[in-house]
Amino acid sequence: MGILAGVVALPAALQQKRLAPTEWIANDDFARNKRTRQLQIMVTYLGITALIGVAYAATGMGTKHSAVHALTTVSTGGFSSAPDSFASFGTAAAAVATVGMIIAGASYAVVWWAIRGRAKSLVRSLELRVYGAVLLLGTLLVWWRADELSWHDSLFTIASSASTTGFAVTDWTALDHGVAALLLVIIATGSMTGSAGGGLGIGRARILVAFARRELRRQLDPGAVVVLKSSGRAVDNRAIERMTGHQTAHLAACAAAAALLALAGVDLVGAIYTGISVLATHGPGIGTGPYGELSDFNGWARISLVPFMLAGRLSLVPLMIAIVWGVHARKQIGHSLRRWLMSRRTRRR
């Protein structure tokens, strides 16, 4: 799915010479021909998948486990062929997964810059620095609050949350409530904009925080003129409006998922955590456990998660289009039905 997203979405974004509101790509980074660009992206991600698969096999995971986990690492799918995810595979396999998840959570532009050796572009990327800060500070906080976790298990857990992959190496749902709250914020924020991961997106979240700060400053000083910038470029107000609308739809979808789960009998904390986690394509959480087990959920709760899982993977746009289409279709059907009834009454007269 990550490869498909890159092949379909990235060439379209490159036609506008931009991948996301926070990442700008030079004209010579990719081939100008659309088919060649698609081939470059496909080969790149198939190569990364193959390398991760070989690395898994070198740790002794076996052919089947290596292939399955390589595919679900790069795509941030998080599906595991083992019932306890990475808990029984050892430190070496977990280390490979950690590196793979960090790469999968980075944007397509960052991956390409790294392959091309564009060190200056990597250093200038503010979103990449924020992504690295989330990984570093999150690891230190989890390691500090959870005495039973080693530093590499803490890094694994943060990488799994930040990339929204959902792999687990321990039962982190039984840890301190502060750790669970921190992971929920990281999961909801998600990975870098333009990556295979889900969530709101670090780039969008950072700009929205800057937008909130600007509005607060305007309340204090109505005459102040504050220009929002990203990577040295001014952010257009229309782009901010689109991101604000996306955030509103994202929060509304999380609330709807939590409400449906609560109505289906899931406890409130588990419903909220699961609703956010599912829309971010992470999966595991309080209520579903560290491995995303749904055995305690009844049939109605499972069915209610289906549209939100699809919306999280495909983005909210198709879901919003489907809702608008459904509302419009209902109005059209109602209008047609009223016209038919009126025509019947006219004929009887």
* Contact status, residue 217 vs residue 224, Cβ threshold 8 Å: yes
Secondary-structure percent of the chain, ordered helix, strand, coil, rounded to 5: 65, 5, 30
Q: What is the DSSP secondary-structure string of 267-314? A: -HHHHHHHHHHHHTT---BTTTBTTT--TTS-HHHHHHHHHHHHHHHH
pLDDT tens string 218-239: 777 777 767 666 666 667 777 7
pLDDT the model gives residue 158:
96
Question: Rounded mean pLDDT of 106-126?
Answer: 86
Structure tokens at 200: 């709101």
Question: Rounded mean pLDDT of 343-347?
Answer: 72
pLDDT-based confidence at residue 17 (cuts at 50, 70, 90)? very low
Question: What does DSSP assign to residue 26?
Answer: -
Other beta carbons within 10 angstroms of residue 265's beta carbon come to 12
pLDDT-based confidence at residue 319 (cuts at 50, 70, 90)? low
The span from the CA of 140 to the CA of 158, in Å, is 10
pLDDT tens string 164-187: 999 999 888 888 888 999 999 999
Structure tokens at 288: 């579903």
Which is higher by pLDDT, 55 or 10? 55
pLDDT-based confidence at residue 107 (cuts at 50, 70, 90)? confident
pLDDT-based confidence at residue 11 (cuts at 50, 70, 90)? very low
Structure tokens at 335: 């209008």
Percent of the chain at pLDDT exceeding 70: 83
Whole-model pTM: value is 0.79
Which is higher by pLDDT, 284 or 226? 284
Q: Residue 24 above 60 pLDDT?
A: no
* Contact status, residue 96 vs residue 60, Cβ threshold 8 Å: no
pLDDT the model gives residue 22:
42
pLDDT the model gives residue 146:
87
Q: Residue 12 above 80 pLDDT?
A: no
Question: Rounded mean pLDDT of 93-111?
Answer: 92
Question: Rounded mean pLDDT of 21-39?
Answer: 58
Q: What's the chain's length in residues?
A: 349
Question: Rounded mean pLDDT of 151-156?
Answer: 94
Question: Rounded mean pLDDT of 261-268?
Answer: 89
Q: What is the DSSP secondary-structure string of 191-207? A: S-TTSS--SS-HHHHHH
pLDDT the model gives residue 133:
94
Question: Rounded mean pLDDT of 332-341?
Answer: 78
Q: Calculate helix-pair angle for 202-220, 126-145, nearest 10 degrees.
A: 100
pLDDT the model gives residue 32:
63
Residues near 132 by beta carbon (within 8 Å), at least 6 away in sequence? none
pLDDT tens string 67-94: 999 999 998 988 898 988 998 898 999 9
